Structure 1
Amino acid sequence: MQRRNILHWGAAALTALSLGSAHAQTFPAKPIKLLVAFPAGGPTDISMRVLADNASKILGQPVIVENKPGAGGTLPAQTLQSSAADGYTLAQIPLGVFRMPYTTKINWDPVKDISYVINLTGYAFGVVVPADSPIKTWTHFVAWAKANPGKLSYGSTGAMTSPHLTMELVAQKLGIELLHIPYKGSADLMQATLGGQLMAAADSTGFAPQVEAGKLRVLNTWGAERLAKFPDAPTLKELGLDVVQNSPFGLGAPKGTPAAVVKRLHDAFKQAMEQDSYKSVLARYDMVPIYMSTTQYQKFAQDTFAREKALVEKLGLAKPQ
């Protein structure tokens, strides 16, 4: 009986393997949906559409971008949990996905319940204020916040996103209290900042065109070094804060997607991200390729999950489970 069961299980495994292999040989046979975590028109959307166009030509099927903004950039990852594990639904995975179990109740695991395909890039972040703001430098920003606890308003691209958590970490280190106002994406955030509804914004450098047009001023940037586009803006490290944030993101597929299909997707998107059109659009927003293979990206997910828990708890933002 035991031998018969072992043979049965072995046969079932071989059948599943052969079916997965057969699927991979014909994959893709129809368009692929790529869920982007932020609204149309922002730097993430624009760069992902160039990447999708490149990948479409390599895969021989359209890769169609669908924007799913809100919930701190976590809606695409949530959608994967109810999508077929066939490679035809992919999702952008921002760092906010790894914070979800610590801030909200979910019935899935961000590490175990996503098939990690490839990491693509990360953001260059900074803080901007309107050009006519009386706050001229980061020193002015901190002094005003200390003199007016809880009144200096800043916007981000959503609660529990990297801009939000990094600003809260900075505020904690400096002993200041800020007023956070979340938006769904960079486009809405910039409109609010330019319209005088906010005193400042923490965002990726999608704000660059407004800075170059003389409408916004950069107070700092968050990389390890100054950005060539904004050479006068100091980094957080130069300002005495031991903080570097570039928030890497990549692509995930539903749990159980056949390994051969994940490899096909990985190889196609790796080739797509190496093309000049993608590198050029990243450079427009001071982003750079941050490639991680499927194995490396899975390890990154595990490590980040643990690190983000420590950050959320440090900031006192973890919700009781």
Structure 2
Amino acid sequence: MRYPHPLLRSFSWAWPLAVLGAMAPWSGAVAQAQTFPSKPVTLVVPFAAGGPADVMARLLGQQLNLGQALVVEAKPGAGGTIGAAAVAKAPADGHTLLFVTAGHAGTGALYPRLPYDPVKDFTPVIGLAAAPVVIAVRADSPYKTLQELVAAARANPGKLSCAGGGGGATVTNLAFELIKADLKLDITAIPYKGSAPAITGLLGGEIDCDSDAIAALMPHVKAGKLRALAVTTQRRSPLLPEVPTVAESVLPGMAGAAWYGVLAPKGTPAPVVERLQKAFASALREPQVQERLKEQGAEPLEMDAKSFGAYLASEAQRWGGLIRKLGLKAD
């Protein structure tokens, strides 16, 4: 029997060994996905309990079918960066996830010394839903329209105040900052740790206005405690058809929305991400979830991991650019 050249003979053995070696990590990831989850999954919400992000996370958690419990854990503070930092350094096994809002995309610019990169240090799982941002005042406020609020701010520079969301790291606050910058308004931003305390501050007279997701403000608008002045989306919300858009009122072309999604630590195996994505997508399609989203003025997105990753990167450029342009800094 003739044998190949020694180099070829070595290669003939090395090739299948190399293939097996390359397959080993993939096989391990598949095996990990088959046994995932092996314990309860923690979904970290980096904002105060009771806000729209917390409500959305708990709503989905009730419908999520992973074979293990989903524990929603609120870790508020510093515009969502405390909770995000905790997830960024968690084991990349899919058992610790981060519930993010649109503001997550801008934290890299707002907090230059973050111990993580809001895009590169996470693995996208799914984009969930988007909702309008509403600008509101108390029901007894003298301002009946956004035009009147703007006029009062111009006549009294620095006298009016609006919720600043704990450093302004949410798109709801950034949308209002964009309005302030374009209209050259001097309105003081008062920081809060999340939607719930900001609304409490507005109702209690600590601030003059608030800009937040429609889900957070709508119950108080319906109860007659707050007055909605405008929405930031391109078209009016079906929940508030009589409320004009910001573009209609004072700033043509202005548009922005609050969105929600789920991230995992960087390096989470693709099969585990796929399992999570399918589970969240299935929960999102449940009739009770769909109805609740509709009630809250939110529109389901159901972006897969790849699409959500690309969207997150584009949002980071958009809001990061705005933050740098406005010279915004975290408190």
**TM-score of the superposition, structure 1-length normalised?**
0.92
Partner residue in 1 for 2:239: 229
Gaps of 5+ in 2: 1-6
- Per the alignment, do residues 194 and 293 of structure 1 end up closer, same or farther by CA in structure 2, a change over 3 Å counting? same
Rounded to whole Å, the distance in 1 between the matches of 2:275 and 2:175 is: 35
1:140 and 2:151 are equivalent in the alignment? no
What per-residue deviation string (whole Å, max 9, x for no partner) do you get for residues 218-239 of structure 1?
A: 1111112112222221101112
Q: CA deviation at 1:95?
A: 2.4
Between stretches 267-276 and 9-18, larger displacement belongs to 9-18
Contact 2:85 2:115 survives alignment (8 Å): no
Q: Greater CA radius of gyration, 1 or 2?
A: 2
AA aligned opposite 2:237: L
- After superposition, residues 1-321 of structure 1 pair within 5 angstroms as 11-55=20-64, 58-104=65-111, 105-159=113-167, 160-205=169-214, 206-241=216-251, 242-317=253-328
SS in 2 for 1:116: strand
Closer, same or farther in 2 for the Cα pair 1:75/1:123, shift >3 Å? Answer: farther
Q: Secondary structure at the match of 1:225?
A: coil
Q: What is the percentage of aligned positions where both structures have the same residue? A: 38
Q: Do the aligned residues in 2 keep the contact of 1:226 with 1:233 (CA within 8 Å)? A: yes
Deviations 1:87-137 (A, max 9, x none): 101101222222222222124322221110000012321111111111121
Cα distance in 1, alignment partners of residues 29 and 139 from structure 2: 56
Give distance in 1, aligned partners of 2:246 and 2:15: 59
State the Cα RMSD in Å.
Answer: 2.1
* 1:279-317 deviation per Cα after TM superposition (whole angstroms, max 9, x unaligned): 122222211111211110111122222222221122122
After alignment, is 142-151 or 39-48 more displaced?
Answer: 39-48
Distance 2:300 2:82 in 1: 24
Determine the C-alpha separation between the residues in 2 that align with 1:296 and 1:132.
Answer: 44
Q: How many residues align?
A: 317
Q: Secondary structure at the match of 2:230?
A: strand
